[in-house]
């Protein structure tokens, strides 16, 4: 007997017939009907009286409904405590760029240990969804220690360095090439040019109260020539050759961007990426994941 069939059976009993249940579950009525037939064939009894306009539970149906609810509740408790090793489904939240850059580090060890699984991602630049138990894991960034949030466990995935970049077409890059300059560019020279910045915290927390990209505006104010709401737009703006940008080094497209070394600026944004889960860890697979990350040398 499949536990999924029993779950569908209990859903049918809580609605006004097969069609209402199918609509609620976004399934075809035939799918539900087949599940009911499988149960009836297994137990060799009818669960519903189908003679009227609406289905009514038989005595056997009432008995099975009571036991099914007990079994499904126990099944849910077991899966919450032990995880779902056969059909793992994971919900992960984070800023879009953090998800895109770090998903592979999460997926690979889980695939090696549990085989096939499914997952969903959710946009959340903080820990709200995790604190509400709407997701299993969350990716967040800080510029040092993990977020000071009680009831959560934190595992550092990596530290990321931010760099100044420009298109090879940008005057600063072209002038340095003509001069065959090999030394770092003075911060005063860099600040002569306009920057493009994100209009929101697309990189997550960068530790700067005055900028969205981690640049210390309070000590080295920039000329902001453009603000964009996505990394795709920021990259396209850089590639025009008119604007500089300050961004995580892993986002540098070497085919269309040049890293500019800057001197005279004592600040550098180093961003720490954290994988977060509820504490104590509520699922066996989360414990396994963190152990695998440790084993593989991920911080």
For 266-286, the pLDDT digits (tens) are 888 999 999 999 988 878 889
Judge contact between 106 and 98, C-beta under 8 A. Answer: no
CATH at residue 64: 1.10.10.10
94 and 200 inside one domain: yes
The end-to-end CA distance of the chain, in Å, is: 44
99 and 196 share one domain: yes
**Stretch 185-206: mean pLDDT, rounded?**
94
The CA–CA distances, whole Å, from 24 to 55, 94, 221 equal: 17, 29, 55
pLDDT tens-place string over residues 65-124: 999 999 989 988 887 777 655 568 899 999 999 999 999 999 998 888 878 889 999 999
Rounded to whole angstroms, the Cα distance separating 58 from 39 reads: 14
* Cβ pair 203, 215 in contact under 8 A: no
Residues 55 and 141 in one domain: no
Is 27 in the same domain as 169?
Answer: no
Q: How far apart, in whole angstroms, are the C-alpha atoms of residue 124 and residue 119?
A: 16
Tell whether the model's pLDDT for residue 298 goes beyond 70: no
Predicted pLDDT of residue 129:
93
Cα 235 from chain centre: 22
Q: Do 178 and 249 sit in the same domain of this protein?
A: yes
CB 98 within 8 A of CB 121: no
| CATH at 220 | 3.40.190.290
Give the list of residues 6+ apart from residue 219 with CB closer than 8 angstroms, or none: 267
Given 40, 65, 82, the domain boundary residue is: 82
* pLDDT at residue 185, as a whole number: 92
For residue range 22-32, what is the model confidence (pLDDT) as tens digits?
887 777 888 88
Residues 124 and 168 in one domain: yes
Q: In which band, very low, low, confident or very high, does the pLDDT at 181 lie, cut at 50, 70 and 90?
A: low
Q: Is the pLDDT of residue 197 over 60?
A: yes
Nearest to 3 by CA among 60, 84, 95: 84
* Distance (Å, whole) CA 299 – CA 293: 7
Q: How far is CA 104 from CA 5, 45, 123, 293, in A?
A: 34, 49, 17, 12
One domain, residues 101 and 122: yes
How far apart (Å, rounded) are the C-alpha atoms in residues 126 and 123? 9
Helix axes 59-82, 3-13, angle to 10 degrees: 120
Distances from the Cα of 95 to the Cα of 8, 35, 124, 202, 204, angstroms: 35, 40, 6, 6, 6
Which DSSP letter does residue 83 get?
-
Domain span holding position 287? 86-299
β-sheet bridge partners, residue 245? 165
pLDDT range class, residue 5, cuts 50, 70, 90: confident
Give me the number of domains the chain comprises. Answer: 2
Question: Do residues 52 and 156 share a domain?
Answer: no
Looking at residue 201, the DSSP 8-state letter turns out to be -
């Amino acid at each position: 007997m499949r536990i999924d069939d029993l779950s569908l059976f209990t859903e049918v009993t809580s609605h006004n017939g097969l069609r209402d249940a199918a609509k609620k579950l976004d399934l075809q009525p035939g799918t539900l009907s087949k599940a009911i037939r499988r149960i009836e064939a297994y137990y060799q009894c009818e669960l519903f009286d189908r003679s009227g306009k609406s289905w009514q539970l038989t005595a056997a149906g009432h008995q099975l409904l009571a036991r099914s609810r007990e079994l499904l509740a126990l099944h849910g408790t077991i899966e919450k405590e032990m995880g779902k090793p056969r059909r793992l489904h994971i919900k992960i939240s984070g800023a879009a760029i953090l998800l895109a850059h770090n998903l592979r580090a999460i997926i690979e060890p889980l695939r090696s240990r549990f085989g096939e699984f499914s997952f969903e991602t959710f946009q959340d630049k903080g820990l709200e969804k995790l604190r509400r138990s709407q997701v299993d894991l969350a990716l967040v960034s800080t510029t040092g220690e993990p977020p000071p949030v009680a009831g959560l466990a934190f595992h550092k995935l990596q530290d990321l360095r931010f760099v100044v970049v420009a298109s090879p077409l940008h005057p600063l890059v072209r002038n340095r090439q003509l001069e065959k300059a090999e030394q770092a560019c003075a911060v005063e020279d860099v600040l002569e040019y306009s920057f493009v910045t994100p209009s929101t915290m697309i990189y997550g927390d960068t530790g700067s109260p005055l900028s969205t990209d981690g640049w210390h505006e309070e000590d080295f104010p920039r000329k902001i020539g453009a603000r964009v709401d996505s990394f795709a737009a920021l990259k396209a703006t850089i590639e025009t050759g008119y604007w500089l940008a300050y961004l995580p080094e892993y986002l540098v497209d070497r085919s269309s961007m040049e890293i500019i070394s800057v001197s005279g600026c004592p600040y550098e944004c180093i961003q720490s990426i954290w994988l977060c889960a509820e504490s104590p860890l509520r699922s066996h697979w989360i414990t396994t994941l963190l152990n695998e990350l440790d084993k593989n040398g991920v911080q």
